[in-house]
């Protein structure tokens, strides 16, 4: 290679490795791009979403090529310069974390419809096809409807029912959750999706637990629910719950990107990120155009949850959302992604939380101090001494 040549790493690489290699390449006069690539097999054939970060000079040199290679949508090719350093790989990592959340939420919708609603695979295929014509229109919803239609060519029945319930992973979801923890960003939906993949891997343990804990399973309640359920209402409720949960998951991912952008001074353009995810990539969805517009309206938007349009939709859907989560809990069907999303929504929208008690506990056992709501400063209280004194006075009275 000669000085001025460019190396492009298009793998799912840890962003700090990209930054280290970038510096090493620069010492040799070489340009370096860490470029996230999403699209899978179809993206490879028809154009992926590309997320190049690193040397702007390198990006400028190959911009025309990348724009021709990338997927095309109505507002341009699905590629943009992400930012300096390892930003391209970091953005792709968070994209994958959001993808984990999306897939988990869809699997929970399937679980509730199948095991609480008693719907067949043929019915599920039609439902997901219908959902793909509305607000949930996306690559993942589309392929899910296709999956439910495929018959097993080795035995009777549908292929999806013959697949072992152990989910694989490459590690980007784990990195996303680790980064959320490092940056103190709440990402419970994405974390729940990762935990579910871990639990899915414990197949033998789960089979044993199914026998040991069968008395705790609510099979009778599930049966009763399935017999008396209003299927039409359940289907619509699940659609609304899935959509509201999805907003929370994306909000968590975008908040993580913002936190990292501030830490690294990347100046990420969140509306532009949503735009390049509209085509080619695994999480492509009509929904992303609305995220793009939300950040165009307010580049400093604190969270998608409080964008006027998304906030209105979540409030309108919360009754259905709560019904689905409550029904699943009553039926013994786990919906950790939807539950985490709903808890995130409820926690975020509360002006006052019970965290005051937690802080009092911390002050009691560790003298960590606390702040008051009625005056400035930090305070420490001898809680145990005062409590015992109060008890003694009460006994004397």
Per-residue pLDDT tens for 5-60? 999 999 999 999 999 999 999 999 999 999 999 988 888 888 999 999 999 999 99
Above 70 in pLDDT, residue 220?
no
6-88 architecture in CATH? 3-Layer(aba) Sandwich (3.40)
3-state secondary structure of 98: helix
Q: Domain-by-domain residue ranges, the chain?
A: 6-88, 90-348, 356-396
Above 50 in pLDDT, residue 224?
no
Signed CA dihedral, 164, 165, 171, 173: sign only: positive
The CATH number for 356-396, chosen from 3.90.420.10, 1.20.5.320, 2.60.40.420, 1.10.10.10, is: 1.20.5.320
Quote the percentage of the chain above a pLDDT of 70: 95
Four-CA torsion 262, 21, 37, 259, nearest 10 degrees: -10
CA of 122: how far to CAs of 10, 112, 114, 129, in Å?
39, 15, 11, 11
90-348 architecture in CATH? Orthogonal Bundle (1.10)
d(C-alpha 49, C-alpha 66), whole Å: 10
List the 6-9 sheet strands across, edge first: 6-9, 31-38, 49-54
Q: Which pairs with CB-CB distance under 8 Å and at least 24 residues apart come from 120-128?
A: 121/148, 121/149, 121/158, 121/160, 121/161, 122/148, 122/149, 124/148, 125/149, 127/235
Given this model, what pLDDT does residue 227 score? 60
The residue annotated as part of the active site, out of 13, 19, 92, 278, is 92
The residue annotated as part of the active site, out of 19, 99, 174, 246, is 99
The pTM is what? 0.93
71: left (phi over 0), alpha (psi -120 to 50) or beta: beta
Neighbouring C-beta atoms of residue 217, cutoff 10 Å: 13
Whether 99 is catalytic: yes
d(C-alpha 311, C-alpha 320), whole Å: 15
d(C-alpha 28, C-alpha 45), whole Å: 34
pLDDT digits (tens, 9 = 90+) for 147-194: 999 999 999 999 999 999 999 888 899 999 999 999 999 999 999 999
* 8, 52 Cβ separation under 8 angstroms: yes
């Amino acid at each position: 290679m000669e000085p001025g040549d460019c190396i492009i790493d298009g793998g799912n690489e840890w962003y700090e490795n990209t930054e280290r290699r970038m510096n090493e390449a620069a010492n040799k006069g070489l340009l370096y791009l860490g470029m996230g690539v999403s699209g899978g097999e179809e993206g490879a054939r028809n154009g992926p979403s590309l997320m190049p970060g690193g040397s702007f000079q390198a990006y400028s040199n190959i911009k025309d090529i990348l724009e021709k290679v990338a997927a095309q949508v109505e507002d341009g090719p699905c590629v943009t310069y992400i930012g300096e350093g390892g930003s391209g790989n970091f953005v792709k990592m968070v994209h994958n974390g959001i993808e984990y959340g999306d897939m988990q939420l869809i699997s929970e919708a399937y679980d509730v419809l199948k095991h609480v609603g008693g719907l067949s695979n043929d019915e599920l295929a039609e439902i997901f096809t219908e959902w793909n014509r509305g607000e949930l229109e996306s690559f993942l919803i589309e392929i899910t409807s296709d999956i439910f239609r495929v018959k097993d060519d080795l035995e009777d029945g549908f292929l999806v029912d013959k697949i072992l319930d152990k989910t694989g992973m490459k590690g980007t979801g784990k990195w996303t959750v680790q980064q959320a923890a490092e940056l103190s960003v709440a990402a419970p939906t994405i974390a729940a999706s990762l935990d579910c993949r871990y639990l899915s891997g414990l197949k033998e343990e789960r089979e044993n637990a199914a026998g040991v804990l069968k008395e705790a399973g609510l099979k009778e309640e599930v049966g009763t629910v399935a017999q008396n359920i209003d299927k039409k209402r359940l289907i619509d409720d699940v659609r609304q719950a899935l959509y509201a949960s999805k907003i929370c998951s994306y909000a968590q991912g975008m908040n993580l990107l913002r936190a990292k952008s501030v830490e690294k001074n990347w100046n990420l353009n969140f509306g532009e990120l949503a735009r390049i995810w509209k085509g080619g990539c695994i999480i492509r969805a009509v929904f992303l155009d609305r995220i793009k517009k939300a950040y165009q309206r307010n580049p400093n938007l604190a969270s998608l949850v409080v964008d006027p349009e998304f906030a209105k939709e979540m409030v309108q859907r919360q009754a259905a959302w709560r019904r689905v989560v409550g029904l699943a809990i009553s039926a013994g069907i786990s919906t950790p992604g939807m539950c985490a999303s709903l808890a995130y929504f409820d926690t975020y929208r509360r002006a006052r939380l019970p965290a005051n008690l937690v802080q009092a506990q911390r002050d009691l056992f560790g003298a960590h101090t606390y702040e008051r709501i009625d005056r400035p400063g930090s305070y420490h209280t001898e809680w145990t001494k005062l409590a015992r004194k109060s008890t003694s006075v009460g006994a004397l009275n």
